[in-house]
Structure 1
């Protein structure tokens, strides 16, 4: 997939003085000033499957079944059954748009995120009167309270287990140390005041839940929706970049140069993000489990990042909701999975984690890392390496091993030379076609932990695998051997500015080589 070239109009708008982005509304105000990045509709849409079906054709991209495309973010102002609600989708469903929202050229987002990790700023707590997220409070103790009527949680397909909160950022704390963690989890609305929550293996909040459950205690959490995109992307870093005890909200602080603001919840002993649009407060109950698709019996959960419907889980923990707080005119934010938005949320932090680790081990050797959309930002990475001598043939493969070590869910790594654009799939496949021989250019690492949502990572697919979520990891070395580099020099064309010959074609385009 080719990455779009940013237009000069967009670049100019992005550089104009503007108010700082510190929440969803300021992010949207910024996008409104840039043509083609945000559209609105007043046409009624059903949140049950129809909304996702519309956006699939507008801007979902990613591993969504074709036809799909990359396009603008979209605000739906007329939600069937919810006369006072709006739903935003696709805010981060384009690498270009993420760059605009994080003040970075798209090709430098890896480095921008890597720098934010190194310069993290811890969050701060503000008084309730300074927290817009608590402008309206709905307590679950009210007999009229019903989560299903209050929040227009969508379904992506007609076979989903139920309505899902697709961008609900869960904030929980270690019962022993008090250290906080934030993660996006699969949250299905199960009743008037109940949600199920799915934890992939190794998630920190699940470790907190297990500690509390072992004591027979509930774990208080907040679910934060409608956020500054820096918070969502910063929250998607994983160990070892963000080990247990590392607060991922500090990465958002590093991105913005100012701390994320928190506030004490109104109904549970936890904090929430002060400038969120919607916050659900609740407790993960000890020793209570629920079938994810108990109301639909579809057997499916929802579309997951590899492009397939995830299986409904037969036994998930339950969050008992205590309250919902909102801003006035609150915006419900969601994503259409498994689209480009998920790729950017998961993939850009993946890139930064790999980049920082390889840079620490071999400075200057890897110039770009791209967590490809075909892997949902998790399963496939392309590393651009800079060979300077024969020893670097081995260093390239070492860089791939570091990448696999630093991001455990990564499945395949493709190595390319510095003359290959890692963001251009045609260029990468060209390198694989002309600089790769399967029997000598492939490294296989069998029986290594991967990701349970990849349907090929099962003993049924490969009897050699001991359990679901274990995989054979592969490195595809598509770099030219250093001693043969002269045989692999690409045809060199004259560098010419084409605008005098085709001024209309290039009138709205900036230099593609902006770095």
Structure 2
């Protein structure tokens, strides 16, 4: 019996009979702002403009201008759904991903005839080649810089091919064979590789892979120090599935592509070449980003010169809305895993779980559940918070709670801050630190004293843990345990 290969279609097959998690529509939808506008009401969640909610992933089968393509949105816009996709308890995903990082399964290269991503090939040398007519990338709002690839995994390598990596970047389609890519240098390994190629004034071959198993996308969002330079995050996905991710040689570039992607785009990041991100719209906006605001259009993003587009039969364009719950799953769950790993190495057994909630977009906020076993543990909870800040500069707020608090229930977390917290003793503020430039409050004019340049921030710790020697004064009301309570709902 042939082993089933995990890819996006296998995941959808497992969800297709679950209406709470997956829905298809044959009603026509325009990729220009309409797809995101519709899904905002149905299932985006996160910090998307209200009204929104948690709902099923949505497959649009009829796309204006793209008769053969489909668009999928919201596949990971529910932590419970991610747990279902990974066949794991959704509350323990951070611990589960830690195990995957510790025991990676390296990707393998398969021959061309085993790569469904290369079923249909369009080369840039074809006279009618135009990625704007081949790839149904949505424009999320009416003010976006253009159609964005928001769930595209960039595969690239160092010049000597000794190191390879995959990362997600925001990429806007600028012309028939040109894409603008925003690379945040210093935190992504692809940025290290592009610097190397740029110094040599040599185009860097890359592939962009779209329409993937969530194990691949979520695994790819791990960052240093958990996955240092040279660690190919495709090994995380291999561990999640206990099955190697399949690669295939590019058709026009000397680089690998993901063999079971729905779309692959091949090309080169051009050295010492920049382009205005909103070149075609001049709106000043890029696209909605994870903090819940429209990102500013960058005046000088790097340029990808496209050499080919390949795809499967009836391909699926996978897309993500920036401030949605889906981004929280992509960015937040790997960060939770990384924080758990870091603090358990330094102070083992004192942080039992971590949750990066939608309120922080998956990056800005962590809720850490603390275990105190003796009086000497007092204060370790604050050291855990400082450890998290030291490793993850994008983290802005940490809330510390006890083991009897459900970190996934913000009502329970806020209850803690109202009944186990005194502002004059339980707040720590760390000033003048680095954070993420997409936070609109991180402007020198907002706080000239502590924000010298954009991207600096004050960090906050809210310690809602009970002092160990006062535990008896903070016992929750205890209710009778009833084993068959669900019988009363039948």
Shorter-normalised TM-score: what interval? over 0.9
Matched with 1:139 is 123
Is 1:236–2:250 an aligned residue pair?
no
Provide the residue aligned with 1:8 in structure 2: none
Q: Which residue does the alignment assign to 1:39? A: 23
Structure 1 counterpart SS, 2:307: strand
Alignment of 1:230-269 (within 5 A): 230-269=215-254
Q: Which residue number corresponds to residue 69 of structure 1?
A: 53
Give yes or no for contact 1:170–1:184 (8 Å, CA) kept in 2: yes
Q: 2:454 aligns with which of 462, 468, 489?
A: 468
- Listed one character per residue, the Cα deviations across residues 198-241 of structure 1 (whole Å, up to 9, x for unaligned) are 01242211121111011110111100000111000000001110
- Alignment TM-score, normalising by the size of structure 1: 0.93
- 8 Å CA contact 2:108–2:244 kept in 1: the answer is yes
Cα displacement (A) at 1:21: 5.8
Q: Which of 430, 437, 448 is the matching residue for 2:433?
A: 448
> How far apart are residue 258 of structure 1 and its match?
1.6
Counterpart pick for 1:408 among 393, 415, 434: 393
Separation in 1 of the partners of 2:335 and 2:17? 30
1:97 is aligned, of 58, 62, 81, to 81
Q: TM-score, with normalisation over the residues of structure 2?
A: 0.97
> How big is the alpha-carbon RMSD for the aligned residues of Structure 1 and Structure 2?
1.4
Whether 1:491 and 2:473 are equivalent positions in the alignment is: no
Whole-Å separation in 2 of the counterparts to 1:442 and 1:264: 53
Residues 324-343 of structure 1 mapped to structure 2, 5 A cutoff: 324-343=309-328
- Determine the C-alpha separation between the residues in 1 that align with 2:403 and 2:331: 25
Aligned counterpart in structure 2 of residue 477 of structure 1, from 442, 463, 466: 463
Q: CA deviation at 1:143?
A: 1.4
What is the match of residue 373 of structure 2? 388
| Shift in alpha-carbon separation, 1:114–1:49, aligned structure 2, 3 A | same
Paired residue for 2:402, among 403, 407, 417?
417
Residue 357 (str. 1) matches residue 342 (str. 2): yes
Q: Does the 8 Å contact 1:19/1:26 carry over to 2? A: no
Match of 2:11 in 1: 27
Residue correspondences, number: 487
Match of 2:205 among 213, 220, 229: 220
Q: Distance in 1 between matches of 2:478 and 2:442?
A: 43
Per-residue deviation, 1:33: 3.4
Which structure 1 segments of 5+ residues have no match? 1-17, 505-515
Question: For 1:120-158, what per-residue CA distance to the aligned partner results, in whole angstroms no more than 9, with x for missing partners?
Answer: 111111111111110110001111000001111101100
1:91-240 paired onto structure 2 within 5 Å: 91-202=75-186, 203-240=188-225
Which consecutive segments of 4 or more residues in structure 1 shift more than 6 A? Answer: none
Give the distance between the partners of 1:264 and 1:428, measured in 2 at CA: 49
Distance 1:234 1:182, change over 3 A: same
How do 1:53-68 residues align onto structure 2 when only pairs under 5 Å count?
53-68=37-52
SS at match of 2:460: strand
Structure 1 residue 378: Cα displacement? 0.4
CA separation in 2, counterparts of 1:209 and 1:344?
Answer: 27
Other-structure match for 1:434:
419
CA distance in 2, matches of 1:487, 1:268: 66
